[in-house]
Amino acid sequence: MPLLVQAILFTLIPVAAATAAGIVAAAIALPARLQSGVQHFAAGVVFGAAAIELLPQLLQRSPAATLLGFALGIGALFALRWATERVEKARAGVAGFVAATAVDFLVDGLVIGAGFTAGGHTGVLLTVAVAIEYLFVGMSVAAALGDHVSPARVIGVPLGLALLTPVGAIVGAVALQGVPLFALATVLAFGAVAFMYLVTEELLVRAHEQGETALGSPLFFVGFLILLVIEEIV
């Protein structure tokens, strides 16, 4: 199967996950403590994708590219955070959160495309992590829209945002095919920063806002362990 087709098909899995999240959010309101637990779990899976799959390979292939990608990722993501906070202070509210999520989903697609360019194994694992991420980020987006929004919009907004992921994957797979290892490793290192930023600044922050649970922290490590098992199986 051609690389581009494979990347696009796999990104449909996160799109389906985001759609499912919107459907669940439109149908029922999950208890805050349950949301906290599943967000911890998702954070563990996403962190595992960066720590288990991306970083060891990158450091082995090109330490210099890894450092460069990290530096670029830190600068870009915290600039995005600064811009998002300014939008929210301007009373854009939900618009700022949705805009930040759109950028995140587009970058996720780019990283998945880069992952399939680097090797199918990497692309598959990143897709699994992103799909689990989208289940809970999609619910957060749907919940942020408020109770006054129609069910169709609650489902449609996460779906529309998730469709940016195949777009990013197409860009990543096409633009990075045949590029030098240094450039590919730089992009993947940037993606690793994006994944860890999502864990520390989004998923875990929102999880603690929902309230502490006895299972919260253990579920983080369960998610990490599951990603490790999947990595061994794949």
pLDDT tens digits along 36-77:
777 788 888 888 888 887 888 888 888 999 999 999 999 988
More confident residue, 139 or 215: 139
Please give the Cα distance from 92 to 175 (Å, whole number): 34
DSSP the chain: --HHHHHHHHHHHHHHHHHHHHHHHHH----HHHHHHHHHHHHHHHHHIIIIIIHHHHHHH-HHHHHHHHHHHHHHHHHHHHHHHHHIIIIITHHHHHHHHHHHHHHHHHHHHHHHHH-HHHHHHHHHHHHHHHHHHHHHHHHHT-TTS-HHHHHHHHHHHHTHHHHHHHHHHHHHTT--HHHHHHHHHHHHHHHHHIIIIIIHHHHHHH---TTHHHHHHHHHHHHHHHHHH-
pLDDT at 144 over 80: no
Cβ burial, residue 146 (10 Å; 0-12/13-18/19+)? exposed
Residue with tokens 């169709």: 152
Torsion of CA 174, 175, 181, 184, to 10 degrees: -100
Is the overall model pTM greater than 0.85, yes or no? no
Query: How does the average pLDDT of the chain come out, rounded?
Result: 83
pLDDT tens digits along 165-193:
999 999 988 888 888 989 988 988 998 88
Please give the Cα distance from 86 to 90 (Å, whole number): 6
> What is the C-alpha radius of gyration for the chain, rounded to an integer number of angstroms?
17
pLDDT for the residue 213: 65
Please give the Cα distance from 93 to 102 (Å, whole number): 15
Report in angstroms the alpha-carbon separations of 204 from 6, 21, 39, 48, 221.
Answer: 31, 18, 7, 14, 13
pLDDT tens digits along 79-124:
877 876 776 565 455 666 677 778 888 888 998 998 888 776 788 8
pLDDT for the residue 206: 73
Provide the token pair at 213.
Answer: 């649970």
pLDDT tens digits along 13-42:
999 999 998 898 888 877 777 777 777 888
**Do residues 110 and 168 lie in contact, with contact meaning Cβ atoms separated by under 8 Å?**
yes
